[in-house]
Structure 1
Amino acid sequence: MCLHSFKMSESIVLYPSPGMGHLVSMMELGKLILHHYPTFSIHVLTFNPPFHTGATAPYMSRIAAEYPAISFHELSLPPNQCATFMDWFLVLKPLVREALESFSRRTPVRAFIMDFFCTSVLEDAEELCIPAYFFFTSAAAFLVLFLYFPELHKQNPGTLKDLDRDLFIPGLPPMPLSVFPDSMQDRSQKLYQWCLHHASRLPRGRGIIINSFHDLEPLGMRALAFEECAPGVPMPLTYCVGPLIAAGDSRNPSESLSWLDTQPAGTVVFLCFGSMGRLSAAQLNEIAVALERSEHRFLWVVRSPPAEGEEMGKRPPEPDLEALLPEGFLKRTAGKGLVVKTWAPQVAVLNHMAVGGFVTHCGWNSLLESVCAGVPMAAWPLYAEQHVNAWLMVGEREMGVAVGAVERGEDGVVGAEAVARLVRELMDSSRSMRVRERVAKLKERAVAALAEGGTSVTSLAELVNAWLEGPPPPPPPPR
């Protein structure tokens, strides 16, 4: 596709949400832009929230060192003005505008790309004549649901959680209410109103950029193309540019990878629950019992369970494995299993030939990483949209990349037998063979999407062309 010429001084501004999952995928978007259009410069607006969101600082330092065209600009959260994370973005609104004005005085800003939780600064971009786009960090199918949420709100004057039927979202199969995010079920809650607010504002952007690819989500893509997500509301164009995943930092030696080197190909089940996923002590015990019973080789990342009354978002301490796991477990499983504390290089682990299956919390980045590695999954969703992701992953009409989902008991804990059954299904069943074949094909199609002429590269070219169609935005008037 022929692109308009542009000057070396033109820039893009990115405004991610501070969570690790949101930050990483937006940085991968920036890297993708620079790979194909290296004359852009990219400014990234960041802030340090008042609680732990993962190891974001080392990650940003590494990106800044490796990509001189990407610069980070930290916004300072005023103290004692943010009761909840929903308040952050409103408090930062004047600082974001000030940063946009500053960038615009130095160089034409061709696009302002913000996380879909950052819609509060939409008007500021419009007033500064900077084209505003939203970056959606989850599935295209979940974007369909999110855009349709205001319509669900109108149709159901009561509380969604009180319904006794499936939800019908245009273009998607009937959705069980059990997978619908808790934050979007009870209209009396502040978080519900917050989601409703953002969902109603997304169509006002110049476009929505999605971290997915067509072959992974044909149903979601078709639903977006038919523009049935927000009845009566004009929809912006959507640009599908994924899969955007981080390669990871392979410079440091890893106990996990060294151990995997000693294991036979395709025999290890990998269990990891995301940068924020923490299970109870009772649940960790059940997993340990299940892994020992299953007799499968395993690599398991364990984080400290949340303490009773613990302050939300507090950085967890390093886990005491001897105290948390059954007595003698580590010795009995030595050689056949490895338990690592807090972190493992997930992308490298998934791409290791020894790994044959992934028990995952169904975060969107983890799902994409597993698909790109060609590794089948078992779904263990924990919070937010992860239950929707799990439903999409397991459904053969949707993605078909996971064998099944966990079965929780009445106390919310997944029993050892249910965990063992899930592991056996992932590693040994006829269903796992079908899923393995499906994921292997999707791995090839993910590579093709990001190759020259692929669907995601073509979509990126259309996006950049949209930025360059008109004259550059004028600089803001002097104050």
Structure 2
Amino acid sequence: MAPPATLRSGEPDRDTPHVIFIPSAGMGHLYPFFRFIAALSSYGVDISVVTILPTVSAAEADHFAGLFAAFPSIRRIDFHLLPLDTNEFPGADPFFLRWEELRRSAHLLGPLIASATPRVSTIVSDVTLASHVIPIAKELHIPCHVLFISCATMLSLNAYFPVYLDTKAGMDGIGDVDIPGVCRIPKSSLPQALLDLNKLFTKQFIENGREITKADGILVNTFDALEPKALATLRDGTVVTRFPPVFAIGPLTSHSPAAGERVDAGFPLAWLAEQPTRSVVYVAFGNRNAVTLDQIREIAVGLEASGFRFLWVLKTTVVDHEDTAELKDVLGDGFLERVKGRSLVTKAWVDQEAILKHPAVGLYLSHSGWNSVAEAAAYGVPMLAWPRGGDHRVNATVVVSGGVGVWMEHWSWDGEDRLVSGKEIGDKVKEVMLDAAVRARAAKVGEEADKALTEGGSSYRSMQQFVAKLKNN
């Protein structure tokens, strides 16, 4: 299948709108921001990007540098955060702490936005900052749109969860959440933090869910053919009445290798070029999901037993600069030698899009983070979803309903004791790799993604509508 087309437009108007982007922390949030910025830049829009300093990881710093190198006309606005006493939140995820630092420093954004030149005509904020940025935008009389970095189904949960708490929770605590018109999300599939209303993430999630209803629009990295029910019910007010306009603009893909993408593309692509078509299992669990050592070794057993070639991007820590373990120590004696020739295992950052585009890749064993799901959908690669935490199980429902792949619902995720055995992993990898029906459904999704992005497609039209709105402000 041909890669998705780049969204294009004509010449910019003389009165060029100035959009200021306020991204958050974590590569899962920055990837869609950078890709959307790259897409929007082709419409002749004046763009500024607030760069949060210091970055949490080396990857973030490299990607910001890559974005500004690729698009020298984009203004960089450095934003230094106020110090946060992390002792308030013992054991908290470093990225949740960064979001809290951002929220506590958000009041400083008002003067920064007000003094920007040319005058800011629209703000695009990460959803994690919505509860603070939207009120600032209202004060300044500037339209504010939210870039929602997960799926439309997760957006419906975020918007509805405060309503659920106000009307349903209390007697029995948090249970299954029945989102009107969308689906019932069982308690076991909710982001784990939502089960404890005192968690930092949960408080942030609820506040943002209440505030996004006051945004001027929501941009989502999905497309109508992938999530028709969730998008329709958000747009018609079934989930939450008087919900803002929803622009499905995905799947967002890279517009050039230099567009903020930190890659180590050469060696995996050279290796893939030597492999037969659809013969390789690509294994990656995201840029901030560390699997336990015991589970890593069971995955190794399963991949070896499957008999298939595999490309495994392995991660042992949440933050990249802490990942110093040697592969041979992580995987155990002899593993790398036994699979030599039919495998490539690396801890380096890779160009995941280039890998998923490659005809040698026949299956993606993934944590089902939304960026990964969107990329697999874009390139028609079947996914074997193994959610690790957060929104991953919600995303996995879309993997199944949208035809992207299959989900092993009983496989454990972070915080659960059960190890998934190497035999179970190997058997399932083999089964899905040989399943022609799964492969055909995924290929069809790829075709629909391509249609969505080409002229006249649903995502193309959404982008045109958003740009027209910018120019009418």
TM-score (normalizing by structure 2): 0.89
Q: 1:245 aligns with which of 232, 237, 253?
A: 253
1:236 CA displacement: 1.2
Alignment map for 1:195-234 (pairs within 5 Å): 195-230=205-240, 233-234=241-242
Partner of 2:112: 99
Paired with 1:160 and 1:245, the residues of 2 have a C-alpha distance of 43
Instruction: Find the aligned partners of 1:94 and 1:173 in 2 and give their Cα distance.
Output: 37
Residue 449 (str. 1) matches residue 452 (str. 2) = yes
User: Which amino acid in 2 is paired with 1:11?
Assistant: H
- Quote the residue 2:33 is aligned against: 26
- How far does residue 50 in structure 1 lie from its aligned partner after superposition? 6.5
Shift of 1:46: 1.8
Distance across 1 between alignment mates of 2:65 and 2:396: 33
User: Does the CA-based 8 Å contact 2:25-2:98 persist in structure 1?
Assistant: no
In 1, the alpha carbon distance for the partners of 2:451 and 2:32 equals 19
The CA RMSD measured in Å over matched residues stands at 2.5
Structure-2 separation of matches of 1:301 and 1:149: 35
Which amino acid counterpart does residue 218 of structure 2 have in structure 1? Answer: I
Q: How far apart, CA to CA, are the structure 1 residues paired with 2:255 and 2:266?
A: 15
Q: Which amino acid aligns with 1:321?
A: L
Which SS does the other structure have where 1:112 is aligned? strand
Distance across 1 between alignment mates of 2:362 and 2:405: 12
1:89 pairs with 96, 102, 124, which one? 102
1:424 maps to 2:430: yes
Specify the SS of the correspondent of 2:184: coil
Give 1:12's match in structure 2, choosing from 14, 19, 25. Answer: 19
Deviation at 1:24, TM superposition (A): 1.6
Q: Match for 1:97: what amino acid? A: G
Q: CA deviation at 1:313?
A: 4.4
| 1:36-435 paired onto structure 2 within 5 Å | 37-38=43-44, 40-48=45-53, 51-52=56-57, 55-81=59-85, 84-103=97-116, 106-119=117-130, 120-158=132-170, 163=175, 166-230=176-240, 233-246=241-254, 249=257, 254-304=266-316, 306=317, 313=319, 315-394=321-400, 398-405=401-408, 407-408=410-411, 411-429=417-435, 433-435=436-438
Q: Does the C-alpha gap of structure 1 residues 191 and 450 become closer, same or farther in structure 2, counting only changes over 3 Å?
A: same
Determine if contact 1:159/1:186 at 8 Å carries over to the other structure: no
Alpha carbons 2:383, 2:404 under 8 Å: kept: yes
Letter in 2 for 1:21: G
Cα distance in 1 for partners of 2:201, 2:246 equals 26
Larger radius of gyration: 1
Check conservation: 1:407, 1:414, Cα contact below 8 A: no
The size of the alignment, in residue pairs, is 449
Distance of 1:202 and 1:422 partners within structure 2: 40
Deviation at 1:253, TM superposition (A): 5.3
3-state secondary structure, aligned to 2:76: strand
CA contact under 8 A between 1:268 and 1:299: conserved in structure 2?
yes
The Cα shift of 1:20 comes to 1.0
Cα distance 1:259–1:318, how it changes in 2: closer, same or farther (>3 A)? farther
Shift of 1:325: 1.2
Does the 8 Å CA contact 1:377/1:402 hold for their aligned counterparts? Answer: yes
> Structure 2 CA distance, aligned partners of 1:145 and 1:329?
42
C-alpha distance in structure 1 between counterparts of 2:99 and 2:122, whole Å:
24
Shift of 1:344: 2.3
> Residue 223 of structure 1 contacts residue 229 of structure 1 at CA under 8 Å; is this kept in 2?
yes
User: Residue 474 of structure 1 corresponds to which residue in structure 2?
Assistant: none
Rounded Cα–Cα distance in structure 2 between residues aligned with 1:368 and 1:190: 28
1:160–1:270 Cα change, 3 Å? farther
1:314 deviates by 6.9
Identify if the C-alpha distance between structure 1 residues 449 and 151 changes in structure 2 by more than 3 Å, giving closer, same or farther: same
Q: Which runs of 5+ in 2 are unaligned?
A: 1-8, 89-96
Amino acid at match of 2:30: L
Closer, same or farther in 2 for the Cα pair 1:81/1:46, shift >3 Å? farther
Q: CA deviation at 1:85?
A: 3.0
AA at the equivalent of 1:28: R
Any idea what the Cα deviations from partners look like across 1:268-299, whole Å, max 9, x if unmatched? 10100111121111011101111111111111
Deviations 1:215-257 (A, max 9, x none): 1111111211221112xx4211111111112257388652211
Aligned 8 A contact 1:18 1:48 in 2: no
TM-score if structure 1 supplies the norm length? 0.87
The equivalent position to 1:461 in structure 2, one of 459, 464, 467, is 464
Give CA deviations for 1:330-386 in whole Å, capped at 9, x if unaligned: 111111111112432211111111110000111111111111121100011112101
**Identity score, percent:** 31
Relative distance call for 1:264 and 1:381 in structure 2 (3 A) is: same
Distance 1:181 1:348, change over 3 A: same
Q: Is the Cα–Cα contact under 8 Å of residues 17 and 470 in structure 2 kept in the other structure?
A: no
Residue 188 of structure 1, CA deviation: 3.3
- Give, in whole Å, the separation in 2 of the partners of 1:256 and 1:122: 42
Q: Distance in 2 between matches of 1:138 and 1:220?
A: 13
Q: 1-side partners of 2:121 and 2:292: how far apart? A: 47
Which range is displaced more, 11-20 or 459-468? 459-468
Q: What secondary structure does 2:219 align onto? A: strand
Matched residues in 1 for 2:62 and 2:186: separation? 40
Q: Which amino acid aligns with 1:29?
A: F
Question: 1-side partners of 2:418 and 2:300: how far apart?
Answer: 17
Q: Which amino acid aligns with 1:14?
A: F
Q: Is the 8 A contact 2:231 2:246 kept in 1?
A: no
8 Å contact kept, 1:51–1:314? no
